[in-house]
Amino acid sequence: MQDHNLDTHALSVSVPRSLTRPGLSAKLLMLTVLFVMLAQVLIYFPSIANFRRNWLNDRLAAAQIAVLVLEGAPAEGLPEGSENRLLNGVGARAIAARVGGARRLLSLDSVPHEVAYTVDLRELNWMSSIAQAVQVLVAPAREMPIRVIGEAVGGADFVELVIDEGPLRRAMLKFSATLLLISLVISALTAVLVYVALNWLIVGPIRQLAANVMEFEADPENPHRAITPTQRADEIGEAERALARMQRTLAGELRTKKHLAELGLAVSKINHDLRNMLAAAQLMSDRLTETRDPKIRRFAPRLIATLDRAIAFCQATLAYGRAAEAMPALREVLLRQLVADSGELLGLAEHPVVAFANDVPADVSLPCDPDQMARVLLNLMRNSVQALTEAGAEAGRRPTLTVKAQHEGGEVVLRVIDNGPGVPDRARANLFQAFRGSVSPGGAGLGLAIAAELVRLHGGSIALEPSPVGAVFKVALPLRRAA
């Protein structure tokens, strides 16, 4: 019983819909056949109308020959039976012509008194010709004959004849069958040729693109899975080159994200022990406030604040490794004091090489998160100090770091300026990207990436401004109290 259930379940498994649907090639073939047949239909109606017109003109030409015979006949008339042979040769019941105002008539023994309709080829336009041809094909052949009138040659004014519609309809049906057969052959050959050409030029390359995308999806970090574009100059070649660029960029970004994840894991492992050591140092520094030495009592609060920020920076580094920076807690902050605190943390007041100038006006305030903005300032100022310490300034000038701020429109613009060697061209393209925008040798480029992310969380922007000397980092932050 169990085996039976298994067999029933196996039989009930449905075939994937993608396997039952026609592919792009099959759809292309069907559309090609459809369009070619539609073109043949549009060609058929003028063709059948032209065939009917030519068929009637041929009968009129034969009738004109009969009229010429009448004109050249002797006064006593044609031999007995000649008129019937002329009419049978034309396929008409009667032929009439007007020559010099006189009407000449050739007819069989019984001349019909009524006709189904009259076709005047002298005044027949294309639309009427098509409509009459379709009517002949659709309606059954009439018992009454039809009258056909056309231009004459020689001395005759016009020629008309009375013929049966049956031979005309049979000839048109035969022509339609022949045209249909030719159309089917042409449609098949055209469809095959168009199918082969489009399959080679379009469908095949698109299949290769789709296969490459699925292969890249299986292992996007593998650079060898990226497509190798061809030298085609059309849209498919452009798509191949764009896909190759996208895959290379995506592979690089994934490797960077993986590196960041590994960094977050590594930092999380050392974070606990590091915070314990900093907490122990913080407890020992608390005792310094109880000492009687005035210098130690004066520096003890700064030491405690520095340890607090070190613990916060440790946690912030862990947060960046997880790519989860907290939203800023905004409050009104005086920028001059924030810049002064950052300079003190970097030891710029007693730095042996770099001179520091805090040119931020005392009344410039900004709604921001002070801890996050302090991290932005520390990262930017530390980079400038490092560049000035290692490479110095231009000849004859002391290495100087200057911080300025001013109101510009609805923003507060903060500039960190140094007169060092500037930012190399190779680092400008990826300056604010982690692990790709490092300026100093051996650096990871995390400082500027962290600063850029924190500025964006404040709703602002950060950029490297052009300058003839050194580097100028511009941070623009909105004055509104919203992130």
pLDDT in tens, 108-135: 555 567 888 888 888 888 888 888 888 8
Residue 97 has pLDDT above 70, yes or no: yes
Q: What is the pLDDT of residue 323?
A: 47
Task: Kindly give the pairing relationship between strand 411-418 and strand 365-368.
Answer: unpaired
Q: What is the pLDDT of residue 2?
A: 43
> Roughly how many angstroms between the first and final C-alpha of the chain, as a whole number?
67
> What tens digit of pLDDT does each residue of 281-321 get?
666 666 666 677 777 767 777 777 777 767 666 665 555 55
- Closest Cα to residue 455, out of 390, 374, 337? 374
d(CA 186, CA 165): 31
What one-character-per-residue DSSP string does 168-217 give?
HHHHHHHHHHHHHHHHHHHHHHHHHHHHHHHIIIIIHHHHHHHHHHHHHH
CA distances from 149 to 56, 97, 114, 153, 160 (A): 9, 10, 15, 13, 4
d(CA 247, CA 250): 5
d(CA 291, CA 280): 18
Residue 89 has pLDDT above 70, yes or no: no
What value does the mean pLDDT take over residues 143-164?
78
d(CA 457, CA 327): 7
- Closest Cα to residue 401, out of 377, 425, 437? 377
Q: What is the pLDDT of residue 381?
A: 92
pTM over 0.85: no
Q: Are 378 and 448 in contact (CB under 8 A)?
A: no
- Pick 35 or 70 by higher pLDDT: 35
> What tens digit of pLDDT does each residue of 402-456 get?
999 999 888 999 999 999 888 887 777 778 776 555 555 444 467 788 888 899 9
- Pick 183 or 171 by higher pLDDT: 171
Q: Are 401 and 356 in contact (CB under 8 A)?
A: yes
d(CA 428, CA 436): 10
d(CA 117, CA 358): 108
**Which stretch, 37-41, 275-279, 313-317, 478-482, has highest mean pLDDT?**
37-41
- Closest Cα to residue 227, out of 211, 212, 249? 212
pLDDT confidence tier of residue 461, bands split at 50, 70 and 90: very high
Q: Which two tokens stand for residue 151?
A: 């231009």
Tell me which of 143-157, 277-291, 335-349 is least confident: 277-291
Q: What is the pLDDT of residue 319?
A: 55
Q: Residue written as tokens 């085996």? A: 3
> What tens digit of pLDDT does each residue of 342-391 get?
898 888 888 888 999 999 999 999 999 999 999 899 989 988 898 888 88
Q: What is the pLDDT of residue 430?
A: 76
Q: What is the pLDDT of residue 19?
A: 42
